[in-house]
Copies of this chain bind each other. A is one copy, B any other.
Amino acid sequence: MAGNTFGDSFKITTFGESHGAAIGVIVDGVTPGVDMDEEYIQLQMDRRKPGQSSVTTPRKENDLVHIVSGIYEGRTTGTPLCLMLYNQDMKPEAYRDIQHSFRPGHADFTYLQKYGIRDHRGSGRASGRETAARVAGGAVARKLLERRGVQVLAYTKEIGGIACRTFDEEAIEHNAVRACDPSAAAQMIRKVEQLAAAGDSCGGIVECRIRGVAPGLGEPVFDKLDAELAKAMLSIGAVKGIEFGSGFAAASMLGSENNDGMDAAGFVSNHSGGILGGISTGQDIVFRIAVKPTSSISLPQRTVNVHGDEQQIRTIGRHDPCICPRIVPVVEAMACLVLEDQYKRQAAMRG
C-alpha cells in the first residue's frame, strides 16, 4: 500500500500538497458518541501553526480546521471524520527558481527518482505542512485518550547544543522554543535568532512523556508499543533518531544497573521508558527524538539541477531556523494516534 495511512484499528489517512487547494485528514475507527468540535481540534492546530514567534517561519496560515463529516449534533457517530485545512498563504512563485534544482537535505531528488514527476511547489507532499493534517487527526485521538486518563506531553530538551537542566512543566507553553527549562529556553532563542540572521539553522532534541497509560498495551513481537512509536516518530520529516528510557546510554550500562527492580509499590526505577517486551508497564512512557537542523538555509550550498549541472543554491523562502518548537505538537499527535490505536487493538484482543 501507498503509505498515506497510519494505524490499524484507529487510523488516519492524510492527503494534500503544501501549495494545492487544501490538505486534510480522514480519521477512521472513532468511538461513537464522543463530544467533538472544531474548537477542541483548533487548539492543537494553533500550537503547530507557523508565524508564532521570532524563531518560526513567517508564513501565515491560520490553519482553520473544518469538520466535513463524522459529527452529528456535536458528537462522533462512529463514521469517518474528514478534517479540511484550506491553504491560504501560498507563494508558489518563491519556488520558481528552484523548480529544476535539488535542494540539499530535501526530498527533491528522491521524489523525482521515485515518481518521475514532482510537484516542486513547497515540496508538495514532502512538505512539513503535511504534518498539520496529522495534528488535526491526533487531536481526535487526544480527545479519546482523555477519557482514558492518558496525557501526552512533549517538549524541547535541547537546541543547538544547549540542554535543559530543569523540568518546569508550566514553562513549556510559555517560551517560544517549548523548552522545559525557562533559562535554557532564553539561551536557545538567542542562538536560533543568531543562526537565522546568519542564514543557517540548527537541530535539537525533543522528549515525550506519556502519563496514565494502562499496563498491558502494545502487541508482542512486531507491533511492540515502542516499535509503533518509533515508526510514528521517524515518519516525521526531520527526525533522525529515537531512544526509549535509558536509550543509547544503555549501550554502556551493566544489566545490574539498567534493570528496573520491583517492590511492593511497583517498579523502583524506569530505565525501560515504561515499556518491557514491547508492552506498557503502567509507568510513564518516555522517549527522545533527534531533530536535524532545518534543511532550508539561505547560505549558498552546492547542488545540481535535474540535468546534472552543478550550481549554487540558496533556499530563500519562509522557513523555521529550528523546527523543534513546532515539531512538539506533531510528536504529541503521533503519540496520541499510536496509543488510541493500541487501546482499540487491546479491546479487540480481549473482546
Contact = CB atoms under 8 A, between A and B. Distances in A.
Contacts of A264: 304, 308-310
Contacts of A5: 5, 13, 28, 222
A81 to B, nearest CB: 8
Interface in A227-241: 227-235, 237, 240-241
Given A231-B231, A281-B110, A348 B347 contact: yes
Contact of A240 (B23, B246, B308): B246
B240 A244 contact: yes
A297 interface: yes
A325 interface: no
User: Which 6 residue pairs spanning A and B have beta carbons closest together?
Assistant: A347-B351, A107-B277, A3-B219, A241-B243, A3-B223, A201-B255
A292 B248 CA distance: 8
A292 B344 CA distance: 30
27 contacts: A1-B219, A4-B26, A4-B79, A9-B345, A13-B28, A20-B68, A26-B26, A72-B124, A77-B115, A77-B118, A79-B125, A104-B261, A107-B277, A107-B278, A109-B262, A201-B254, A201-B255, A203-B250, A223-B235, A227-B230, A230-B234, A241-B242, A250-B293, A258-B293, A262-B310, A344-B349, A345-B348
A50 interface: no
Nearest to A214: B113
Interface in A21-41: 21-24, 26, 28-33
B302 A255 contact: no
Contacts of A16: 68-69, 82
A8 interface: yes
A278 B235 contact: yes
Given A250-B293, A294-B255, A295-B255, A3 B119 contact: no
A309 to B, nearest CB: 8
A235 B6 CA distance: 17
Q: Which of A11, A28, A123, A290 is the most central at the interface, judged by chain B CB atoms within 10 Å of its CB? A: A290
Interface string A78-117: 1111100000000000000000001011110111011111
Nearest to A66: B21
Given A240-B250, A347-B351, 13 more contacts: A2-B219, A3-B224, A4-B26, A22-B82, A77-B119, A110-B275, A113-B215, A114-B220, A160-B252, A227-B230, A227-B231, A250-B293, A348-B351
A282 interface: yes
Contacts of A277: 106-107, 110-111, 123, 126, 237
Contact of A252 (B21, B203, B345): B203
Q: Which of A240, A242, A263, A303 is the most central at the interface, judged by chain B CB atoms within 10 Å of its CB? A: A240
B32 A263 contact: no
